[in-house]
């Protein structure tokens, strides 16, 4: 990118001129970039700090706030419901991400081979990603409904017992995960496809000449070269997975259904703040979520920073 | 066409910033100089609103549909922000949630509401009144409950099928459960309840007490709740509950005849008509086992920021007058809260979906018998725990006593956190 711009000799201009020009001489430039910062300050920074302030209050959303100190946070630490929500979120994340990546990889490999109507397939696989989640959740609710849903009808047809997709704690988690998988397989497949196409055919050819079979080529050459793309997908799915909300809300309700099996962190935050009118505690939960996400980001970062760089990957 | 050069761009940006700064002085009410009324689709009959807008044009009445899902969020945002607040707004049956902030709304008694009190159902009027006697919400509609049942399937089982006979046969909850068992002898798998929660909800709503007493103390661990809870657990244990996980399963059960009976408010009749058109003519309604109860129903409140509360109140009381309540029912299916509208001949028409029965009479009877209840701002938060735990009993096989204790423990925590005495 930078190569395209005309090169400016930075050092020649710098110390003397910088000190002699007051900040306001750059005003036009600051003004020009200001819209982003103003919007970010109003809709990004301000709410963050307000939430920190709110977490120390008791507030029903309308009347005057009441100082609560660290009460909300001490309550949060001993709140079994919140810990359960964290576990639910992580479990659903694992249950959705692992199959999703495997499926997406298979789809990408399929699309990468010589087949006809590639464009049509790509479009078809991407469509779920741009479909309204609410509409999808309603459709999934029907598909997985217990007495008359198509999934249970298929299970009974092949002689299996129907499953309580929306009334069994694990059934609920599976259904929510299925929805996330359905939504994101296509998106990740397209990204993997881009990654696959970036791998130089010469490398694959060289592997073949060295006598590697298809499986060896895939595991020893293609996968390592795809590593950055895979990590990107895991990271993106982690960001999405920490925020799962609409799927359980529509499928099993705000409390997350039986044994609160579908209650994710964000759903719990919503229930406390907007159902139970406890905005102070809601803000405390939001900060709890921030800490969980930070920990998660830290783990992710450590994984990405692992030294095995596999040269040609970039 | 003018080209955008740097100077122009900067001037434009500066102007935009200036406007943004001016925006800080935003108006207090939604549309200054007019009287805004927030409502949601189906919350008020549009025919009445159109007439009202014409009738109160001088006062500037302006109905604005903000949508049911948005209303509460917008109301909280505008009230706490102190800008763009509606002059009047609909509040749903969660009106008690606003009782803690009653000072944000006009006490309608100060505008002469008392003279209308006798025209409306007393319990409904009470439901819009705060514990210290301020009238916050003017009654719109109600949701009196009754027993919906399939007369053809009852008759096939050799059981009573005429509304009065069925009502007599299922007078108490015990009668109702016995009736259901009798029905299952000829129709195995038939259920008479949607889920445990349905029975729990209506059994509790039939009594005058809920979760907090008038002094704001917790009473949700007492016998009246336990009794409703036990009934909810029993209906599942007896195999009389469908335990449907969503409306898809439930509607399929209406069509297939798996659910020949359930207790529901008046507005469910629209769902049945839409979901099970092939069953037309076979449904009837009668008095609910255990007695009358109510679920749902809205109000209109006037915010204290309204510059002309008297004109606003004149509009509200006209929109919701007994004569117009009949129109709300006929045009939007909103069951009246005004006594005269309940007996209005225009409202009391036979319904062919219910085999020509005048269902309004059954619901009106239920509406008149609903007990006065002290609702509180904590009800929704508390109810969630009971609903989740009774669902755990029904669907996950949890021990009922354990579930009850867990619900109470969680509610005690909630109450402690909210500073409620018990």
**Domain limits of chain B?**
35-141+296-346, 145-292+372-417
Scan residues 1-60 of A and list those with Cβ closer than 8 Å to B. Answer: 28, 31-32, 34-35, 38, 58, 60
Of A59-63, A88-92, B7-11, give the lowest mean pLDDT range: B7-11
Q: What is the mean pLDDT of residues A43-59?
A: 94
- Contact predicate B35/B306, CB 8 Å: yes
Residue pLDDT, tens place only, A225-272: 998 899 889 888 988 999 999 999 999 989 999 999 999 999 999 999
> What is the rounded CA–CA span in Å between residue A72 and residue B157?
57
**Is B10 close to A62, i.e. CB distance below 8 A?**
no
Task: Kindly list the residues from chain B whose CB atom is less than 8 angstroms away from the CB atom of residue A255.
Answer: 384, 387-388
**A61 touches B at CB < 8 Å:** yes
For the record, the structure tokens of A181 come out as 């998988």
Burial of B175 (0-12, 13-18, 19+ CB in 10 A): middle
Residue pLDDT, tens place only, B14-72: 555 555 555 556 788 888 889 999 999 999 999 999 999 999 999 999 999 999 989 99
At residue A6, the pLDDT reads 52
CATH numeric code, A79-313: 1.10.3720.10
Q: Long-range contact list for B172-179, CB < 8 A, 24+ apart?
A: B172/B289, B172/B290, B173/B199, B173/B203, B173/B231, B173/B289, B173/B290, B175/B289, B176/B147, B176/B289, B176/B290, B177/B234, B177/B235, B177/B238, B177/B240
CATH class of B35-141+296-346: alpha beta
Handedness of CA B229, B232, B236, B238 (dihedral sign): positive
Nearest to B101 among A62, A75, A257 (CB): A62
At residue B1, the pLDDT reads 41
At residue A72, the pLDDT reads 93
pLDDT band at A113 (very low <50, low <70, confident <90, very high): confident
**SS3 label, residue B334:** coil
- Contact predicate B253/A145, CB 8 Å: no
Quickly count: other Cβ atoms within 10 Å of residue B318's Cβ. Answer: 16
> What is the rounded CA–CA span in Å between residue B259 and residue B282?
13
At residue A301, the pLDDT reads 79
Q: How far is B252 from chain A (nearest CA, A)?
A: 7
For the record, the structure tokens of B29 come out as 């009410």
Token pair 């500037």 in the structure block, residue: B60
At residue A312, the pLDDT reads 44
Nearest CA in chain A to B243: A167
Q: Phi and psi at residue A58, in whole multiples of 5°?
A: -115, 125
CA-based nearest residue to A173, from A264, A110, A41: A264
CA-based nearest residue to B416, from B149, B167, B218: B218
For B172, residues 6+ apart whose C-beta sits below 8 A from its C-beta are B289, B290
Nearest CA in chain A to B242: A147
Of A6-10, A87-91, A102-106, B244-248, give the lowest mean pLDDT range: A6-10
Q: Which CATH superfamily is domain B145-292+372-417 in?
A: Periplasmic binding protein-like II (3.40.190.10)
* Residue B91: strand pairing partners: B299
pLDDT band at A41 (very low <50, low <70, confident <90, very high): very high
A12 has a pLDDT exceeding 90: no
- Contact predicate B205/B145, CB 8 Å: yes
At residue A313, the pLDDT reads 43
At residue B112, the pLDDT reads 95
At residue B258, the pLDDT reads 95
Of A67-71, A306-310, B153-157, B207-211, give the lowest mean pLDDT range: A306-310
At residue B32, the pLDDT reads 87
> What is the rounded CA–CA span in Å between residue B258 and residue A262?
28
For B58, residues 6+ apart whose C-beta sits below 8 A from its C-beta are none
At residue B420, the pLDDT reads 79
CA-based nearest residue to A257, from B62, B387, B129: B387
Q: How far is A45 from chain B (nearest CA, A)?
A: 18
Low-confidence ranges of chain B (pLDDT < 70): 1-25, 422
Q: How far is A29 from chain B (nearest CA, A)?
A: 10
Q: How far is A54 from chain B (nearest CA, A)?
A: 13
**Is B243 close to A31, i.e. CB distance below 8 A?**
no
A182 has a pLDDT exceeding 50: yes
At residue A3, the pLDDT reads 47
Task: Measure Cα distances from B99 to A106, B103, B271 in Å.
Answer: 57, 9, 32
Q: Say what the ipTM of the complex is.
A: 0.82
**Is A275 close to B76, i.e. CB distance below 8 A?**
no
**Domain limits of chain A?**
79-313
Chain B interface residues (partner A, CB cutoff 8 A): 6, 9-10, 13-14, 17, 20, 72-73, 76, 79-80, 97-98, 100-101, 103-104, 243-246, 248-249, 252-253, 258, 377, 380-381, 384, 387-388, 391-392, 395-396, 398, 410, 413-414, 417-419
> What is the rounded CA–CA span in Å between residue B387 and residue A158?
35
Task: Kindly list the residues from chain A whose CB atom is less than 8 angstroms away from the CB atom of residue B389.
Answer: none
Task: Kindly list the residues from chain B whose CB atom is less than 8 angstroms away from the CB atom of residue A79.
Answer: 413
For the record, the structure tokens of B228 come out as 């409703």
DSSP per residue over B76-122, as a string? HHHHHHTSSB-SEEEE-TTGGGGGGGGGGB--GGGGTGGGGGGGB-H
At residue B16, the pLDDT reads 58
For the record, the structure tokens of B298 come out as 């809205």
**Is A149 close to B248, i.e. CB distance below 8 A?**
yes
Q: Judge whether B35-141+296-346 and B145-292+372-417 match in fold.
A: yes
> What is the rounded CA–CA span in Å between residue B39 and residue A36?
35
> What is the rounded CA–CA span in Å between residue B7 and residue B154?
82
**End-to-end alpha-carbon separation of chain B, Å?**
72
Residue pLDDT, tens place only, B115-146: 999 999 999 999 999 999 999 999 999 999 99
- Return mean pLDDT, chain A: 87
Task: Kindly list the residues from chain A whose CB atom is less than 8 angstroms away from the CB atom of residue B73.
Answer: 274
- Where on the phi/psi map is residue B303: left (φ > 0), alpha (ψ -120 to 50), or beta? beta
At residue B418, the pLDDT reads 82
């Amino acid at each position: 990118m930078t190569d395209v711009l005309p090169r400016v000799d930075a050092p020649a201009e710098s110390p003397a001129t910088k000190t002699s020009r007051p900040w306001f001489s750059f005003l036009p430039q600051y003004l020009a970039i200001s819209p982003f910062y103003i919007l970010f300050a109003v809709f990004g920074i301000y709410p963050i700090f307000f939430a920190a302030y709110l977490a120390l209050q008791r507030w029903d959303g309308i009347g005057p706030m009441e100082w609560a100190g660290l009460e909300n946070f001490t309550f949060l630490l001993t709140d079994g419901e919140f810990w359960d929500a964290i576990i639910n979120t992580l479990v659903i994340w694992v249950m959705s991400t692992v199959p999703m990546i495997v499926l997406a990889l298979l789809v990408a490999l399929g699309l990468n081979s010589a087949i006809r109507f590639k464009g049509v397939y790509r479009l078809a696989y991407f469509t779920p990603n741009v479909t309204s989640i609410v509409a999808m959740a309603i459709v999934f609710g029907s598909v997985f409904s217990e007495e008359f849903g198509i999934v249970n009808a298929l299970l009974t047809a092949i002689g299996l017992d129907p499953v309580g997709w929306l009334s069994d704690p694990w059934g609920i988690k599976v259904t929510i995960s299925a929805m996330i998988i359905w939504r994101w397989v296509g998106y990740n497949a397209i990204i993997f496809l881009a990654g696959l196409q970036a791998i130089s055919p010469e490398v694959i050819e060289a592997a073949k000449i060295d006598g590697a079979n298809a499986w060896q080529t895939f595991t020893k050459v293609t996968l390592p070269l795809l590593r950055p793309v895979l990590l990107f997908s895991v990271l993106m799915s982690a960001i999405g997975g920490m925020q799962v909300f609409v799927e359980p809300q529509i499928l099993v309700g705000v409390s997350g259904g039986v044994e609160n099996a579908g209650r994710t962190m964000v759903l719990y935050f919503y229930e406390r703040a907007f159902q139970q009118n406890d905005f102070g505690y809601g803000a405390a939960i939001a900060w709890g979520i921030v800490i969980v996400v930070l920990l998660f980001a830290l783990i992710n970062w450590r994984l990405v920073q692992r030294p095995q760089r596999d040269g040609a990957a970039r | 066409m003018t080209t955008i050069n740097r100077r122009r761009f900067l001037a434009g940006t500066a102007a935009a910033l200036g406007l943004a700064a001016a925006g800080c002085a935003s108006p207090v009410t939604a549309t200054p100089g007019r009287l805004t009324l927030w409502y949601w689709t189906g919350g008020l009959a549009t025919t009445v609103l159109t007439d009202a807008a014409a009738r109160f044009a001088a006062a500037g009445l302006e109905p604005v549909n903000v949508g049911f899902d948005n209303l509460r969020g917008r109301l909280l945002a505008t009230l706490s922000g102190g800008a763009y607040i509606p002059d009047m707004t609909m509040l749903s049956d969660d009106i008690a949630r606003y009782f803690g902030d009653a000072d944000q709304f006009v006490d309608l008694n100060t505008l002469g509401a008392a003279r209308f009190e006798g025209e409306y159902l007393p319990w409904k009027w009470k439901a819009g009144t705060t514990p210290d006697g301020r009238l916050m919400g003017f009654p719109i509609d109600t949701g009196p409950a009754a027993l919906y049942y399939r007369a053809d399937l009852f008759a096939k089982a050799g059981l009573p099928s005429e509304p009065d006979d069925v009502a007599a046969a299922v007078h108490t909850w015990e009668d109702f459960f016995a009736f259901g068992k009798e029905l299952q002898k000829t129709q195995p798998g038939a259920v008479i309840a949607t889920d445990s929660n349905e029975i729990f909800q209506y059994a509790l709503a039939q009594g005058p007490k809920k979760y907090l007493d008038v002094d704001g103390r917790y009473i949700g661990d007492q016998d009246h709740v336990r009794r409703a809870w036990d009934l909810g657990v029993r209906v599942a244990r007896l195999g009389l509950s469908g335990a449907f996980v969503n409306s898809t399963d439930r509607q399929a059960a209406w069509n297939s005849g798996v659910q020949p009976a359930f207790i529901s408010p008046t507005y469910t009749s629209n769902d049945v008509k839409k979901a099970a058109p092939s069953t037309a003519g076979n449904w009837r309604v009668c008095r609910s086992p255990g007695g009358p109860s109510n679920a749902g129903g809205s109000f209109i409140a006037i915010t204290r920021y309204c510059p002309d509360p008297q004109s606003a109140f004149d509009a509200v009381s006209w929109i919701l007058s007994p004569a117009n309540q009949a129109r709300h029912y006929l045009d939007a299916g909103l069951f009246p809260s005004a006594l005269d509208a309940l007996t209005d001949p225009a409202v009391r028409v036979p319904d062919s979906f219910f085999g020509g029965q005048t269902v309004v009479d059954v619901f009106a009877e239920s509406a008149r018998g609903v007990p006065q209840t002290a609702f509180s701002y904590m009800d929704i938060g508390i109810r969630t725990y009971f609903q989740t735990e009774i669902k755990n009993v029904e669907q996950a096989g949890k021990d009922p006593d354990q579930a009850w204790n867990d619900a109470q423990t969680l509610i005690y925590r909630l109450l402690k956190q909210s500073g409620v005495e018990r």
